[in-house]
Amino acid sequence: MFRKIILFLPVLLSLACNLASAPVSEAPSDENQPAETQPAPITPEAATSAPTAEPVNVNDYAIFSINVQDFSYPEQSAAVLNRIITLHETYNVPVDIYLTDVMAQIYAEQFPQLLERLKTSPVVAISYHYRAPRPYANNYDWLGLRNMSADEMYQTVMRYETHAVDPVTGQTTDATGGYQYVASLIGYPPYAASSLSSDAEVDSALMRVFKELGAQMTVVHGRALNLGDTKKGLYIRPEHYDYMLFQNVGAGPAASFENALNEAHNAQGIAPYFVGVKMHDNDFFSTQSAWLTVYVDGGKRPNWDPNLTSPLLSQAEQDAMWAMYEQTVLYVASQRDRIGTVNLPMVLEMIKK
CATH number of 55-352: 3.20.20.370
Q: pLDDT value at position 3?
A: 37
Q: Does 41 score more than 80 pLDDT?
A: no
pLDDT of residue 248: 96
Of 9-23, 132-146, 244-258, 270-284, the one with minimum mean pLDDT is 9-23
Mean pLDDT for 266-275 is 97
In terms of pLDDT, which residue wins out, 5 or 143? 143
pLDDT score at 16: 41
A 10 A CB-CB count for 193 gives: 29
| pLDDT tens by residue, 119-170 | 999 999 999 999 999 999 878 899 999 999 999 999 999 999 999 999 999 9
List beta partners, residue 333.
Answer: none
User: Comparing 167 with 14, which gets the higher pLDDT?
Assistant: 167
DSSP assignment of 212-231, as one string?
A: HHT--EE---SS-B-TT-EE
Phi-psi region of 106 (alpha: psi -120 to 50; beta: other; left: phi over 0): alpha
- In 3D space, the residue among 204, 217, 200 whose CA is nearest the CA of residue 151 turns out to be 204
Question: What does the pLDDT average to over 24-38?
Answer: 35
Q: What mean pLDDT do residues 292-318 have?
A: 96
**pLDDT value at residue 197:** 86
pLDDT in tens, 79-95: 999 999 999 999 999 99
pLDDT, the chain, mean: 88
User: What does the pLDDT read at residue 353?
Assistant: 87
* pLDDT at residue 47 in the model: 60
Write the DSSP assignment of 142-159 as a string of letters. Answer: -S-GGGS-HHHHHHHHHH
Domain residue ranges in the chain: 55-352
Q: Give the pLDDT of residue 138.
A: 79
Output 196 or 319, whichever has higher pLDDT. 319
Residue 60's nearest CA partner among 254, 346, 261 is: 261
Contact 242, 14 (CB under 8 A): no
Q: Does 342 have pLDDT greater than 50?
A: yes
Q: What secondary structure letter does DSSP report for 192?
A: B
